Amino acid sequence: MKVNIEKPDITHTEAIAAICAAGWRQTVEGVLSEAYIADNILKWYSNQKVKEDIKRESYTYIARIDDVVVGVIGGGITTAGIGEIYVLYVKEEHRYHGVGRKLLDALTEEQMEKGAKEQWVSVQEGNQRGIPFYESRGFIYEKKKVTTVHTGEEQVSLRYRRELIHN
C-alpha cells in the first residue's frame, strides 16, 4: 500500500469534504449536539466551502492510495515563525498505518521552509485519537480554550505546541 502525499486541487473537493465531515463528526459525537454538528459541517465542509478553501490553499496536502483520497491536512503560517495545523483527518479504515504522520511531516516541512519555528494545533478535549497522535510527535499541552457556540454549548479545545528544529 503506497501512500502518495500531494497538493490537492478542486477535483478532490468531494473527497476532502467527506473525510473532514466524517472525521469532525466522529471527534465531537456525544460531546456536542447534533444541531451544532450539522451546522458546523455545513459551514466548514460543504463542497462549496471546501472548493473555496482549496483555491485559497487552506488544504495543504492530501494522501492518496491509488486514486482514492484517504487523508487531508491543512495549515499555514499564522504569524511570523508560527505554523498552525487547521485540520488533519484520515479515513477511519486507513488510520494507524502512517498516513497521518506522512501528512503532518509534509506540512511541517513546508512550514519550516516558510520560517516556522514552532507549530500549534487545537484538539477537541477528550479526542483520544488526536491527543495521543500529537503528543507522540512532540506536541505539548499549553492551554485550554473554551468557546460558547451559537447553540449555547461550550466547545473545549486543547491547544498544543511544539518547537520545530531546523537543521
Q: What is the CATH number of the domain that holds 32?
A: 3.40.630.30
Outline where DSSP puts E strands in 14-153.
Answer: 61-65, 68-79, 82-90, 118-124, 140-148
Q: Using 50, 70 and 90 to split pLDDT, how confident is the model at 29?
A: very high
Please check whether residue 61 is in contact with residue 100, taking contact to mean a CB–CB distance below 8 angstroms.
no
Contact 23/16 with Cβ under 8 angstroms?
no
For residue 58, give its domain range. 3-163
Distance CA 52, CA 79 (A): 22
Q: What amino acid occupies position 129?
A: R
CA separation for the pair 53, 60 (Å, rounded): 10
**Domains contained in the chain, number:** 1
On whether the CB atoms of residues 104 and 90 are closer than 8 A, the answer is no
- Give the predicted TM-score (pTM) of the model: 0.94
Read off the pLDDT band of 167 (50, 70, 90). Answer: low
Q: List 161's β-bridge partners, or say none.
A: 120, 140
State pLDDT tens for residues 56-65.
999 999 999 9
Count of other CB atoms within 10 angstroms of residue 95: 16
